[in-house]
Amino acid sequence: MTHILHLDASARPGLAGKDQHGSHSRNLSHRFISQWQARRPQDVVTYRDIGQNPPSIISHDWIASSFTPEPKREAWMHDTLAESDRLVDELIAADVLVIGTPLYNFGMPAALKAWIDQVVRPGRTVDVDESNPLDPYAPRLADRPRHAVILTARGGVGFDVGGEMAHMNHLEPNLITALGFIGITRVHQIAIEGQEVGGELLAESVKQALGKVDALVAELQRSLQAERVEEPA
């Protein structure tokens, strides 16, 4: 059985094409999940709408608590980290992380950054070896194959690698760096562009992206099945 963690980060609550001012990134992520479940209804999906229910922003107390070794934490420290522990547990359990997110002002929405800050945790998702200051970090989520699917919607065009605006895209590169830091390195990306342009350009981009989503679902399901066959008994 495969576990999927599905995050939506858009501030828009509805789906593009169905709701006024609906979200294109939500449309992609919900298409991915619906296609996946149509093929594999037995798999488990955990859903978090962080766009409508953002995680807490980390604080001084959070930092002090997370960098205090578990046996030395006081009761208030455990309370401070309770939300983070829930989010980390969901991520650790996941075989596939699906993130639906818009590009806001050349980067990720604040809600998604808050989630990243909550799940990059010393002792939970990354180990820190203070005796090796030149290379102190070791990802903990590299213990088994995990995939991340980043489904993006952009107002402009040319933000893909090699595009004229690629140097201004700090969304996917930031996510890929943060996820790789904790051990999730199998990353798949699909984007819609031209939301602000609209018309045929947007319609064609949506059509192509939905087709890529369907193909990626089939590809990932085959890949995960092959990875399980290769695991030692």
Q: Which residues are annotated as a binding site for FMN?
A: 10, 23-25
Phi, psi of 138, rounded to the nearest 5 degrees: -135, 120
Residues placed in the known binding site: 10, 23-25
Burial 110-125 (b: 16+ CB within 10 A, else e): bbbbbbbbbbbbeebb
Burial of 190 (0-12, 13-18, 19+ CB in 10 A): buried
Give the number of residues written for the chain.
Answer: 233
- Going by their DSSP bridges, the two strands 3-8 and 186-192 should be labelled as unpaired
Separation CA 24–CA 6 (nearest Å): 15
Q: What angle do CA 187, 214, 28 make, to 5 degrees?
A: 70
